[in-house]
């Protein structure tokens, strides 16, 4: 059995702060097959590489007095959150921020990298086109799995991901890394709009282990009827590691669907107790299901465990 593709989840966040040039370069150096950026929208409608719209946990915005007046409370679906939000900043303003490690007590190496590279392009906020250009220039053999975040929320802000992608990636589709791009989202309706707009690439439905937001695809999408629906128009599913099984992989493959799984984190507290803190054993267990690709926070460790 060949090993699954290894996806650098947000780059290589065990090494450098997520979604930064430093993190993606570390993933490229590790030998990943693909990297995964998450995408949100800025105030001026630019697709920006961030895991969530809220910026306080992953940037130095809280230390920037000039942005203090933008601290606010917003509701996203069922969740109310306090902080600074990407849609309140232009891309030019976002570029003045420096990214920092989300889990500094747990990932101290990444936290140190973030502090040492603070104020440089290595920790600057990236647009999606920045990342496409970086990948093409630095690692053109690496593909992209792009997650589009919170479609319903984004539409309420007045933006449509399908339209923004068509506009901002115009002229870039025929070369790496967009030649074989994959799109992921939890909202089936967005996949349909992307299909109707005839955007290039493979469309992957993300399926949550439990539904947290109104529009998210939940466990019901793992039924035979739901997999048939996905397979009729799209290309794959992506499931939480807790949902992964040989039976599910078999049913997906029978329908011609790719199946990915998220996210392998190497720290013992993120591993199932049965594996005694051994990330390599856990990776082998997941790989033996026949899954096509694994999202990994430590892609170098995953490749070392499973083979290049």
For 145-164, what is the mean pLDDT? 96
**Cis-peptide, bond into residue 109, ω within 30° of zero:** no
Percent of the chain as helix, strand, coil, to the nearest 5: 40, 20, 40
Rounded-to-integer distance, Cα 224 and Cα 248, Å: 10
What pTM was computed for the model? 0.96
Specify the pLDDT at position 93. Answer: 98
Please state, in angstroms and rounded to a whole number, the distance separating the CA atoms of residues 290 and 254: 13
Confidence tier at 216 by pLDDT (50, 70, 90): confident
Contact 95, 55 (CB under 8 A): no
* Whether residue 88 has pLDDT greater than 80: yes
Does 212 score more than 90 pLDDT?
no
Mean pLDDT of 251-259: 98
CA–CA distance, 35 with 5 (Å, rounded to integer)? 10
Q: According to the model, what pLDDT value does residue 77 have?
A: 59
Q: What is the structure's pLDDT at 213?
A: 67
Q: What percent of the chain is predicted at pLDDT more than 70?
A: 97
How far is the first Cα of the chain from the last one, in angstroms, to the nearest whole number? 13
Q: What is the pLDDT of residues 177-200, one digit of tens each?
A: 999 899 999 999 999 999 999 999
pLDDT of residue 180: 87
pLDDT band at 1 (very low <50, low <70, confident <90, very high): low
Residue 78 pLDDT > 70: no
**How many beta carbons lie within 10 A of that of residue 270, not counting itself?**
15
Q: pLDDT tier at 79 (50, 70, 90 boundaries)?
A: low
Residue 123 has a pLDDT of 98
pLDDT exceeds 90 at position 156: yes
C-alpha span between 31 and 282 (Å, rounded) = 20
Cis peptide leading into residue 263 (ω within 30°) = yes
**How far is residue 152's CA from residue 41's CA, in Å, rounded to a whole number?**
12
Parallel, antiparallel or unpaired: strands 143-148 and 38-41? parallel
270-282 pLDDT tens trace: 999 999 999 999 9
DSSP state of 258: E
Residue 80 pLDDT greater than 80, yes or no: no
Query: In 3D, which of 249, 274, 251 has the Cα closest to residue 259?
Result: 249
Taking CA atoms, 179 is separated from 94, 137, 248, 254, 306, in Å, by 28, 15, 28, 26, 27
Tell me the per-residue pLDDT of 99-153, one tens digit each, with 9 for 90 and over. 999 999 999 999 999 999 999 999 999 999 999 999 999 999 999 999 999 999 9
pLDDT greater than 90 at residue 64? yes
Residue 215 reports pLDDT greater than 80: no
């Amino acid at each position: 059995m060949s090993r699954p593709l290894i996806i650098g989840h947000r780059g290589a966040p065990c090494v450098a702060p997520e979604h930064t040039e430093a993190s993606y370069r570390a993933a490229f150096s590790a030998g990943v097959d693909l990297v995964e950026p998450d995408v949100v929208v800025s105030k001026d409608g630019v697709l920006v590489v961030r895991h969530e719209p809220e910026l306080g946990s992953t940037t130095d915005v809280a230390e920037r007095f000039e942005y203090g007046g933008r601290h606010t409370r917003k509701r996203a679906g069922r969740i109310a959150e306090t902080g600074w939000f990407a849609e309140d900043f232009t891309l030019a303003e976002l570029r003045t921020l420096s990214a920092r490690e989300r889990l500094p007590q747990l990932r101290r190496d990444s936290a140190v990298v973030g502090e040492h590279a603070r104020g440089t392009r290595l920790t600057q906020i990236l647009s999606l086109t920045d990342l496409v250009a970086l990948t093409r220039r630095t690692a053109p053999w690496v593909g992209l799995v792009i997650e589009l975040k919170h479609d319903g929320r984004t539409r309420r802000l007045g933006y449509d991901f399908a339209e923004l992608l068509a506009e901002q990636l115009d002229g870039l589709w025929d070369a790496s890394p967009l030649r074989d791009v994959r799109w992921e989202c939890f909202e089936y309706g967005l996949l349909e709009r992307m299909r109707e707009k005839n955007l290039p690439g493979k469309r992957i439905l993300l399926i949550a282990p439990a539904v947290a937001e109104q529009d998210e695809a939940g466990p019901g999408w793992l039924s035979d009827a739901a997999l048939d629906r996905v397979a009729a128009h799209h290309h794959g599913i992506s499931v939480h590691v807790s949902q992964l099984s040989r039976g599910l992989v078999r049913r997906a493959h029978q329908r011609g669907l790719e199946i990915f799984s998220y996210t392998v984190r190497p720290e013992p507290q993120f591993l199932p107790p049965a594996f005694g803190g051994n990330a390599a054993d856990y990776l082998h267990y997941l790989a033996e299901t026949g899954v096509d690709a694994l999202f990994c926070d430590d892609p170098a460790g995953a490749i070392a465990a499973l083979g290049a």
